């Protein structure tokens, strides 16, 4: 079986404990907290919670090589109705400004539309982290109109404006489907300069490098997508490939784990600390358990507040002042210009 095919199955490193062992024992890099001390950076703490990020499940219509969630069409982990209700109850707190829906393909959760409608009635900003191709799938083709109706911001993965690079990471035909979906979104006003409908594109490197300068890359995307396809978008964000799940499997398979971790460590930027996403959000997994971020969620590193580890027990103030759990993967968010759910940090 070809290596690419292997990577498109579940990660060989599906066990979070094995991933952490590799990152801590085989990467040959100093512990992240020790690195903070060396740079005279205090232990990470939350500063507030303005975003509730909810992973609605691992079911997805795609199986991308870089996916840290290890999502795919054969996954059956889906957030149920009761857990959705607990999330909506928590979202009522006035401290929350944003509901950030992710997956898998979050749209494949049967309660997706219900949670969007409820959140907008609470006057919260809603973000849909969309893979674009789902908008063309049977049963989902009316989603663009639904999202536009509720003023949902779409944060859409498009690893490159070149077809061969995108397909190499996301599968054959992914680029053309993404372009078709982007055109449909533009037709509704998404990404247009005179529209309130926000369309954010997401770049992550194809390979083992750090993202290039975000503003320069955004300019290149604008020029190429406009020239080739007459596509417009609101802004572009860059996200570093995290050494988790499938990407970590690829690093291990190619014997490049230590090399990549060394690259992240050498690019450590203390100026990113104040803008780390973990300081202003709480992440909820498909079962309702709480984490400091989506990456900690995939490594099963739960929040430190021992009696507040599930969304049904949510207490805003306890979680807003919590200490944040860190490990070696945190170098990914602090390398270079930084990486977060909102893109480069500084």
- Which pLDDT belongs to residue 292? 95
Q: What's the token pair of residue 112?
A: 């997706």
Interaxial angle between packed helices 81-91 and 112-121, expressed in degrees from 0 to 180 and rounded to the nearest 10:
20
- Which pLDDT belongs to residue 9? 42
Q: Measured on CA atoms in the order 180, 182, 186, 188, is the torsion positive or negative?
A: positive
pLDDT per position as a tens digit, 227-280: 999 999 999 999 999 998 888 988 998 999 999 999 999 999 999 999 999 999
Q: Rounded mean pLDDT of the chain?
A: 90
For residue 345, give the H/E element and its range: none
Q: At residue 2, does pLDDT exceed 50? A: no
- Which pLDDT belongs to residue 8? 38
- Which pLDDT belongs to residue 13? 63
- Which pLDDT belongs to residue 4? 35
Which CA distances in Å does 234 have to 135, 198, 342?
19, 6, 13
Contacts of residue 158, Cβ cutoff 8 Å, sequence gap at least 6:
132, 166, 178, 182, 201, 202, 203, 221
- Which pLDDT belongs to residue 295? 92
Q: How far apart are CA 297 and CA 258, in angstroms?
A: 23
Contacts of residue 248, Cβ cutoff 8 Å, sequence gap at least 6:
11, 13, 19, 22, 23, 257
Q: At residue 165, does pLDDT exceed 70? A: yes
288 DSSP 8-state letter: S
State the pLDDT confidence band at 6, using cuts at 50, 70 and 90: very low
Instruction: Specify the 3-state DSSP secondary structure of 77.
Output: coil
By the 8 A CB rule, do 124 and 151 touch?
Answer: no
Q: What's the token pair of residue 218?
A: 């955004």
Q: How far apart are CA 259 and CA 10, in angstroms?
A: 24
Q: Are strands 281-284 and 290-291 parallel, antiparallel or unpaired?
A: antiparallel
Instruction: Specify the 3-state DSSP secondary structure of 264.
Output: helix
What is the second-level CATH architecture of the domain 3-332?
Alpha-Beta Barrel (3.20)
Q: Quick one: how far is CA 324 from the chain centroid?
A: 18
Q: Which of 82, 142, 156, 76 lies closest to 113, judged by CA? A: 142
- Residue 54: strand pairing partners: 101, 284
Q: What's the token pair of residue 161?
A: 């404006």
Give the length of the chain. 346
Contacts of residue 341, Cβ cutoff 8 Å, sequence gap at least 6:
51, 53, 100, 239, 277, 281, 294
For residue 113, give the H/E element and its range: helix 112-121
Q: How far apart are CA 283 and CA 310, in angstroms?
A: 11
What torsion, rounded to 10 degrees, do the Cα atoms 232, 235, 241, 245 define? -80
User: Can you give the residue ranges of every domain in the chain?
Assistant: 3-332
Q: Give the lowest-confidence range in 29-33, 117-121, 220-224.
A: 29-33
pLDDT per position as a tens digit, 50-107: 999 999 998 988 777 667 777 778 888 999 999 999 999 999 999 999 999 999 899 9
Q: At residue 315, does pLDDT exceed 50? A: yes
Q: How far apart are CA 262 and CA 260, in angstroms?
A: 5
**Residue found by looking up tokens 């984490």 in the block:** 291
């Amino acid at each position: 079986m070809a290596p690419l095919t292997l990577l498109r199955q579940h990660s060989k490193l599906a066990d979070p404990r094995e991933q952490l062992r590799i990152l801590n024992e085989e990467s040959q890099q100093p512990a992240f907290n020790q690195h903070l001390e060396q740079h005279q950076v205090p232990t990470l703490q939350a500063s507030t919670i303005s975003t509730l990020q909810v992973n609605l499940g691992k079911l997805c219509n795609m199986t991308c090589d870089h996916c840290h969630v290890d999502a795919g069409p054969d996954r059956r982990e889906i957030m149920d109705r009761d857990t959705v209700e607990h999330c909506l109850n928590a979202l009522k707190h006035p401290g929350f400004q944003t509901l950030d829906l992710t997956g898998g393909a979050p749209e494949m959760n049967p309660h997706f539309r219900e949670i969007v409608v409820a959140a907008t009635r609470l006057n919260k900003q809603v973000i849909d982290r969309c893979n674009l191709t789902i908008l063309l799938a049977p049963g989902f083709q009316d989603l663009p109109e639904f999202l536009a109706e509720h003023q949902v911001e779409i944060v859409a993965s498009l690893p490159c404006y070149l077809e061969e690079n995108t397909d190499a990471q996301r599968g054959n035909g992914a680029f053309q489907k993404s372009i078709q979906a982007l055109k449909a979104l533009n037709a509704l006003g998404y990404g247009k300069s005179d529209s309130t409908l926000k369309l954010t594109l997401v770049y992550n490197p194809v390979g083992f490098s750090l993202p290039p300068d975000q503003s320069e890359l955004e300019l290149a995307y604008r020029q190429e997508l406009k020239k080739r396809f007459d596509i417009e978008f609101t802004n572009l964000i860059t996200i570093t490939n995290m050494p988790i799940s499938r990407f970590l499997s690829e690093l291990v398979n190619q014997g490049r784990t230590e090399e990549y971790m060394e690259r992240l460590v050498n690019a450590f930027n203390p100026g990113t600390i104040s803008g780390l996403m973990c300081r202003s959000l709480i992440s909820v997994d498909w079962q309702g358990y709480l984490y400091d971020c989506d990456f900690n969620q995939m490594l099963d590193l739960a929040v430190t507040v021992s009696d507040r580890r599930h969304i049904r027990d949510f207490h805003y103030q306890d979680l807003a002042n919590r200490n944040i759990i860190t490990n070696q993967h945190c170098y990914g968010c602090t390398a270079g210009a930084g990486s977060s759910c909102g893109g480069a940090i500084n």
